[in-house]
Structure 1
């Protein structure tokens, strides 16, 4: 029976299989959830409450850390060049100059308050000299004649054991003026003071003094307000180093010692724990601040959290039923959404298999199926490109065959005519004419001889020598020619009629237009399994525009070279195309030229003895 079920399942369409699988995957956990919902509810509420509290506390710690970092950054105002200049000048100035310097400091602090939006947050700023004596405060906060040398935190800062210090919260301090004594014990009455050691920018080892930033505990309380309004638990912040309570929902506990049973914040796992106090269970969530050694605790009564458990059982059962119905609808929707693009892609492939390459997969999504459709479109584009390339190659091949047939028209008549000219020249004693005729006859014979397109490098060099015999008659002593071909390279194979068009261009476009004597050289070497031939001349060269135009023409595979060199000649473009066609893309011709310095043509072909 199981075998028959599997057979019926796998014979269904993809859409049906996906729908059945999705409903099966959804149904099993939903049934289990309905059966175990009541027993799991307590654990669910516990986790959800803890997670919610953790998010709220994470928001608080992030905001509080950011606030304390901004307080620290605000204290860096004293490290501005112009502020330190005012500070140093004020230490040795007369009363008038001190007032002027302090007004300048006030202006700088006001700018920073505007920048950090600290107007009304930092209640006062006090500056102490290196010995702990007050020499500046923008508001009356500290007794002017008070000496801070006996304070523990000052000694810690002077010794280098601490770079900054967060003091408080406190209601009173010995350095507070009597008129600033608090009238009660509200959060607004408690103060915090941030203190930083200030070094001389020009002499970092020298301590200029200390900056004290005074602000109210209400600045901490305002970050706790969202937690206290959205949570039914109580909140407490403790200073883990001092062992005192920084803040508590019960304001009367602020500044008191931390209760022994509070424990430490969770440093891993769930980030919360369950504790028992006087027969009642509490869920305790905790977190720590990064910028200061403070820990935050939130405590919730579990009995209050689970008060609605009975009603939740009925709601859970209804939720299971509704979820299953929704799962059926979602299964149909999702399966149809996944299968429809596959069907469109299948239809496009069917058209391609029938020879229609103009089809494209459209309405592609951003998932893996859409990516498959894009790959399909790229593949079709590549196939069309390759077909076009093959078609062009066939056209080039037909054109080459036609040119070869035209070049072979009555070759024996040409040979016989040239031999007749050679014989008559010998009889008449005109040897130079005979040499030209003989060289021209050899060139014709070499151009159309049978035996394939490949020849030895030695044969190609011999063809060039015949060409130069003819050209040297015209140019007499204006042209010299040099060859540097290693002996061992002469037996390698190459396609014929490569050098003659390049040497011809060097002679007629470089040497002929040059004033004075010119030289054409052919050099060869073997490099990384390839043969490198260099044809260089010291003629007039080409301008940058001419060189760029010729390079673009060589790179354009759609351009032809039949008209480049004039009637009856094969141009540089034609030679480059034949090399690329026969040997492949990495091979061919490259050019370099400068006006008045000549032209250098590099031919690269694979080194082959066969």
Structure 2
């Protein structure tokens, strides 16, 4: 453990190790969590889908079973013997006994064909009542108390249709009840109508079926439980007898079939249901822990797999940190030598990756620095020579001004006014243009320079050219590039006015638009054809070279403006053949600091 004090987190290699290990570990953990979560969701959806299919299939089987019970009870209602027995329409006792025997055999063969019938009660409204269990036998006649029970009234109001009561303890009280069966039954009933007068109800039928027949169709096994729920959300079919007729503690979807997660009590439960043909709902319940039973195994597998990958990531991070730290360490040692004044140092640069490129670059830089140091002395010697040349240039400029002034005064003495005016304007133009070597001048100075230029051209063209120059007063002290304006005016004269028959006019204006300056030169010369205008606009936009003789000066000015001020500044050109041209120069508004 002696190496621990040397492990400094300020080192790039150590930081890289920590970054790689933590980054890979976090990625593995996130991928593991995503894999586990996604797998759990897939398992839940799969189990839910399978459960929903099971519930739907169970619901279809229940519909078939209840449809079969409805059909079997319908055949019983149409039995003439049964009608005769309930109405006590016998000729004698022998006829009564024979008829009762036939009814018993008919019930045994038709209604109890699957041996699932527990009790069959036939209550006559006016005469006889019967019960069938292990055999067919008369029971006491129906009383007003029996007829006033809720289930009896529901059957009568059903008008011969099947009235389903579901799974519950027997609805029939003493003395009619069969006390041999103590558990719950699955029961339903129908009103018995007189076959000779269908508007008259002559009795009530109540059928009790073994609930195992129904429960065997809705068994979900160990995964979950199922139940039958009526329209009032009461449980009317369940293996747990204690929950019968309880109201379910959750709501069901209005759809025909669905499955969703709900919180029932303290546990999340998947609830799936399908609607039966009689309006009931077959409901399946699967607790969340049952859904996650397989997910736990998958979770442990994911955990061990992630731990293994993290161990591999640890080794990879150590190797990567070592690979990255060694060339950095050599580079730092070389930099330390250079800092101490050893510019002959050269570090190992045999790698072919970025570190090799960096090492070779360092060696080249050190060699270049050494060469620059050697050249510095020579540059210092040349600096004095440069200063002398600059002084000589200033002398030459002053000599040019003085010579032009002399020519100007000689012309005035000899009264050669044209030469005098031209020489004076030329001298003033050069004085402003040179402006002591300054790159930027004020707008007022450029205006004076353009005025002198116009005076020179006026002598040449005479009355063929007219001009005007306007500027906002607030712009006179703004700083602009001094070389950008005269070529635009020159283009307007030589490419617009000179090629035009007759006289022409050039208007120059300085305007302000927001935080921008606009230098606008307008002429009424020959203008440009559309293809020539489009070519110049394309060149100005793409910064490409144009053919010699096709306004290359404008391209150079546009490039100079964009380099100096930015890409949003430059030249805009509008022209119409035979009507003239307008050139607008866009500049930033920069006030002079002097």
Normalised by the size of structure 2, how large is the TM-score? 0.44
Q: Which has the larger radius of gyration?
A: 2
Query: TM (normalized to structure 1)?
Result: 0.43
